Amino acid sequence: MNAFGGDDAALETLMLPFASGALAWPRDGRTLFVHARDGWPLRAMPLDRLVCEQTFKPYADALQRGGLTLDANADEKFPLVLVLVLLLPPRQRDQARADLARAVQRMAVGGTVVASIANNEGARSGEADMQRLLGTVHNLSKNHCRVFWATLREETLDRALLDEWSQLDAPRPIADGRFLSRPGVFAWDRIDAASELLVSRLPDDLSGRCADLGAGFGYLSAEVLVRCPRVASLDLYEADARALELAQSNLSNANEKRATPAKLDYFWHDVTAGLTHHYDAVVMNPPFHQGRADLPELGRAFIAAAADSLVKGGQLWMVANRHLPYEAILHERFATVRNVATERGFKVIEATKASS
């Protein structure tokens, strides 16, 4: 099962070489699992020397609940061991290549890198990339996914390509240099059109303690700080640690033009698990998909978390794709719900909690 329910086909396929005997799980040394996810296929392996990396909070929480060793920022080298890497289908090929390069940099000569990708997310391209970087590649297929692996050998490693790909997910300026972003982050190379529409409709009288749920690289929060001088504090919640790191950088000078600085806090947090603080206002462009599939229950969970965290009379300002079915939970959890704008396939909604 994955963090959102359902079978984890990519994880099961990743374990296929070991289950079939094509590869042996290492008896000595430690194994690194990049983009790790817990699940029954992983539990069939010896896990006492497994080190996991995961920057997505729901998966990281599941790994910790399962008692697995988690180190999202491990600098440890893994000499003479198998390096197990799950290249989950990212939104950009640049991130996949950077992940592969980083995995190879963590390997010792003679180590093995293993990757699993869904067929419709670029499995053949991923395998071709591994072959370009390392040489001979082996593969197996199952569950509409492909698992492929290669051994690190000095004579077949393309070091120039390794150096090039290792820089592909480095932060870079976007929006005429106003923000830093990086491949793999939501809408990484532009200002998201839905968020931009929400910003255009935000009132300037938001005040008190506010929160941005699913803050990404910080665009909505930056605009709140510019447009709403009465906001006293702003908490940014983001499940992707890589995005949250960018938001901290992007908002480092956000108070320079404010007459009264706002207190800023950053939370690497799964919003669907609920919030512990209470707010006068919440803004958000909630996620609604996993991979290619719509997952509107994610957006509904964000709405529920916002409703639970708002004080009496508190306001929610949100944007969503027009077709997403959020009205029922909005009317259930809020006293008033107003459709502020419907444009370009999006809807901006203001919802207010009862004042008593």
The mean per-residue pLDDT over the stretch 261-269 comes to 97
Q: When comparing pLDDT for 13 and 1, which is higher?
A: 13
Q: Measured between alpha carbons, how far is residue 247 from residues 190, 232, 240, 341 in Å?
A: 14, 18, 11, 27
Q: How many C-beta neighbours within 10 Å does residue 240 have?
A: 21
Average pLDDT over all residues of the chain: 89
Say how far apart CA 190 and CA 41 lie, in whole Å.
37
Q: What is the CATH number of domain 9-165?
A: 3.40.50.150
Q: With contact defined as beta carbons under 8 Å apart, do 298 and 4 qualify?
A: yes
Q: What is the pLDDT of residue 91?
A: 52
Burial classification of residue 170, based on how many CB atoms lie within 10 Å of its CB (0-12 exposed, 13-18 middle, 19 or more buried): exposed
Question: What are the phi and psi torsion angles at 265 (to 5°)?
Answer: -135, 150
Q: What is the CA angle 150-151-157, rounded to 5?
A: 95
**Residue 110 scores a pLDDT above 50:** yes
Task: Please give the Cα distance from 51 to 72 (Å, whole number).
Answer: 9
* Matching fold, domains 9-165 and 172-352: yes
Of the given ranges (3-12, 94-103, 120-129), which has the lowest mean pLDDT? 3-12
What are the sequence ranges of the domains in the chain? Answer: 9-165, 172-352
Looking at the predicted structure, is the pLDDT value of residue 219 above 60? yes
Q: Name the band, by pLDDT with cuts 50, 70 and 90, for residue 114.
A: very high
Is the CB of residue 10 less than 8 Å from the CB of residue 118? yes
CATH number for 172-352 (one of 3.50.30.30, 3.40.50.150, 3.10.560.10, 3.90.1580.10): it is 3.40.50.150
How high is the pLDDT of residue 89? 40
* pLDDT tens sequence across 145-180: 999 999 999 999 999 999 999 999 899 999 999 999
- 243/31: higher pLDDT: 243
Q: Which residues of 241-277 are buried (b: 16+ CB within 10 A; e: fewer)?
A: bbbbbbbeebbeebeeeeeeebebebbbbbbbeebee
Residue 150 CB: number of other CB atoms within 10 A?
24
Of 211, 212, 231, 192, which Cα lies nearest the Cα of 346? 192
Q: How many CB atoms lie within 10 A of CB 163?
A: 11
Question: Cα(324)–Cα(23) distance, rounded to whole angstroms?
Answer: 44
Residue type, 164: E
pLDDT one-digit tens code per residue, 32-87: 888 888 999 888 888 888 888 889 999 999 999 999 988 755 566 653 333 344 44
Q: Are 95 and 181 in contact (CB under 8 A)?
A: no
